[in-house]
Amino acid sequence: MQFFNEFTQTIINGVAIGCIYGMVALGFVLIYKSTEVINFAQGELLMLGAFIAYSLITMLHFPYWLALITTILAMGIVGALLERVVLRPLVGEPAYAIVIVTIGISYFIKSVVSMIPGWGTDTYGFKTPFTDKYVRSGELVVSWEYISIIAIALLLIAAVFLFFRYSRMGTAMRATSQNQLAAVYMGISVTRVFSLTWTIAAALGGIGGILLAPITFVHMNMGFIGLKAVPAAVLGGFTSPPGAIVGGLIIGITESLAGVYLPDGWKDIAAWIILIGVLIIRPQGLFGIQEKKKV
Amino acid sequence: MSVMLKVRNIETYYGPIMAIKGVSFDIEEGAVVTILGANGAGKTTILKTLSAIMDPQKGTIEFMGKRIDSLPPEKIVAMGVSQVPEGREVFHDLTVKENLLMGAYLRNDRAGIKRDMDMVYDYFPILKDRIAQLAGDMSGGQQQMVVIGRALMARPKLLMLDEPSLGLSPLLVKEIYGIIERINKEHKTTILLVEQNAPMALSIASHGFVLELGRIVMDDTCQALMANEDVQEFYLGIKEDSVRGTKRWKRKKKWR
Ligand SMILES: Nc1ncnc2c1ncn2[C@@H]1O[C@H](COP(=O)(O)OP(=O)(O)OP(=O)(O)O)[C@@H](O)[C@H]1O
Ligand SMILES: [Mg+2]
């Protein structure tokens, strides 16, 4: 019973953190699919989201839900601004150059955060309506905090998937990532598609930050945790949105199990071992398709 | 009949290479017009310039009395100029239905979109049977139907088609041309057709231009073009052996 209890909790923790990795990975994948750029600032967008939520909740005393929605909107605006100011002028430059620019963006976000009064390099935290609440079922005890993370993440991920599957703009965004030239012939504004892609990716990163903060801390270096989403995205095939979520979950769960049942140190490399293992067996990743070459 | 498209002196470049060297022509409303030309003559480049995929360095383009040469592509589509580009550019991971709906991306009249969807299914019944199939999994000919149907979903006033017969079986070429004619008759859609298949193009068009190395060298009715000896020889592949043979010999002798 003791083992069952611990095991269940470990899995739930892993799923919760895996959902966060998955969401951040989804941001990577969306940007990569439409612009062929790997956005290395995705982790810092998570960190920025956490700081914004922290300020709204502890300094401005926003209720949690309002803070959540406001942070999502604020991060969406940040994403749109980044696209407009930094990335749009670089359209047409080689992808590797733009990737380097995203590393620059990540340093920029970090230094801005370190300079803002009340933020800086200290460690903060905030409470949610779910902090220190537990569900009990017989011997089993599960924290509401983790359940709420899973529920909110799955809800928002579902919203993103429904948007891409059924809305006109979402379909247009998929169309643009498949055939940009044909999209232009349809009257789809590629600029608008790119802008919206960055908006959604930054919002996803920001949500990752709000959800992660209660179980870790709010800190300037939180972005490193967000970078765990890279192996998650690669595991899923890097061009597959569902793959990103599944990859995130696999890495979250593995890490969580390794943290409890393996000696110290394994936790941090578990993700990479799984990644290497999967890539040896399936070089295209779990959900990737072998590049279809036009002959 | 009024002039729908007025092109004056356009010059279009690929970097330093001048691909279109001062082209002018008019297209009348409701007409079917064709541009003939060898590979590399610049036909696709003209269509890309008309759709604002490329900007002309010089010259003007007027559509229904309005200058469009500095508008972005989406504005031009919104005004009623659609193109079926060369090479079956489907959205391979979207279903047939989603591909068609993307053609109506700029429209907001739900009822009209629904009606045009039925119209496309009427032209290409096979698409109706395959609405849920990914366009990338369709055959080449079926993909060509998808892209033509998709362009129709924008309800264009001017429909430009870049080599719609490329790589299709003779039977399918006939079918597609039949449908292009129907589109022109039933919806009064003006058609600009770019073709290598000159006999087919001249058979449905009323007016034609011959493009050589970025310049228009002939601009005439299709009847006149079909009667022209050079067009017959170079585009229709007709060789009247005895007569042409001697003539060519004479011609050669002239500058020998
Ligand atoms: N992307 C490009 N970069 C440089 N030159 C180009 C490019 N595309 C076309 N050209 C050149 O421009 C000229 C016109 O090309 P275009 O594609 O318009 O010809 P076309 O008449 O459509 O030929 P085809 O019948 O083979 O399709 C050619 O000399 C071609 O080599
Ligand atoms: Mg061409």
Task: List Cα–Cα distances, A35 to A7, A55, A85, A206, in angstroms.
Answer: 41, 32, 16, 20
* Pocket around ligand 1 at a 6 A CB cut-off: B 14, 17, 19, 37, 39-45, 86, 196
Note the pLDDT of residue A293. Answer: 40
Judging contacts by C-beta atoms under 8 Å, the chain B residues touching residue A171 are 94, 98, 101-102
Which residue among B44, B84, B165 is best mutated to probe the pocket of ligand 1, counting the most ligand atoms within 8 A of its Cβ?
B44
Identity at A172, one-letter amino acid code: A
Q: Report the alpha-carbon distance of residue A61 to residue A56 in Å, rounded.
A: 6
Q: Do A172 and B106 touch (CB under 8 A)?
A: no
Note the pLDDT of residue A254. Answer: 92
Q: Report the alpha-carbon distance of residue B161 to residue B158 in Å, rounded.
A: 10
Note the pLDDT of residue B239. Answer: 63
pLDDT in tens, A54-78: 999 998 999 999 999 999 999 999 9
Confirm or reject contact between A166 and chain B (CB < 8 A).
no
Nearest to B100 by CA among B51, B45, B138: B138
Q: Domain A2-281's class?
A: mainly alpha
pLDDT in tens, B131-171: 999 999 999 999 999 999 999 999 999 999 999 988 889 99
pLDDT averaged over every residue in chain B: 89
Q: Report the alpha-carbon distance of residue A151 to residue A155 in Å, rounded.
A: 6
pTM: 0.89
- Please state the rounded mean pLDDT for residues A106-133: 87
The answer to whether residue B234 scores a pLDDT higher than 80 is: no
CA distance B52 to chain A (A): 9
* B119 Cβ neighbours under 8 A, 6+ residues apart: B152
Q: Report the alpha-carbon distance of residue A20 to residue B234 in Å, rounded.
A: 65
Can you give the residue ranges of every domain in chain A?
Answer: 2-281
Q: Report the alpha-carbon distance of residue B243 to residue A91 in Å, rounded.
A: 59
Of the candidates B51, B83, B94, the beta carbon closest to that of A178 is on B94
User: Residue B251's Cα: distance from chain center in Å?
Assistant: 35
B/e letters for B163-201, b = 16+ CB within 10 Å, e = fewer, are: bbbeebeeebbebbbebbeebbeebebbbbbbbebbebb
The answer to whether residue A295 scores a pLDDT higher than 50 is: no
- Domains recognised in chain B with CATH numbers: 1-80+158-171+187-256 (3.40.50.300), 87-155 (no CATH)
Write out the H or E segment, with its range, that includes residue A193.
helix A190-212
Which residue among B10, B45, B192 is best mutated to probe the pocket of ligand 1, counting the most ligand atoms within 8 A of its Cβ?
B45
Q: Report the alpha-carbon distance of residue A226 to residue A110 in Å, rounded.
A: 13
pLDDT in tens, B188-214: 999 999 998 888 889 999 999 999 999
Instruction: Using only the alpha carbons of chain A, give its radius of gyration.
Output: 19
| Structure token pair of residue A53 | 């939520």
Q: Report the alpha-carbon distance of residue B196 to residue B86 in Å, rounded.
A: 12
The answer to whether residue B43 scores a pLDDT higher than 90 is: yes
Q: Which atom of ligand 1 has the smallest separation from the CA of B37?
A: 21
Does ipTM top 0.95? Answer: no
Q: Report the alpha-carbon distance of residue A178 to residue A276 in Å, rounded.
A: 28
Task: List Cα–Cα distances, A109 to A75, A120, A225, in angstroms.
Answer: 12, 12, 15
* B24 Cβ neighbours under 8 A, 6+ residues apart: B7, B8, B9, B10, B59, B216
Of the candidates A175, A185, A187, the beta carbon closest to that of B85 is on A185
Q: Report the alpha-carbon distance of residue A256 to residue A250 in Å, rounded.
A: 10
Ligand 1 centroid from CA B6, angstroms: 23
Residue B41 is classified by DSSP as S
Q: Residue A229: beta bridge partners?
A: none
Confirm or reject contact between A91 and chain B (CB < 8 A).
no
The answer to whether residue B247 scores a pLDDT higher than 80 is: no
- Residue whose CA is closest, atom 24 of ligand 1? B39
Report the 10 Å Cβ neighbour count for A13: 24
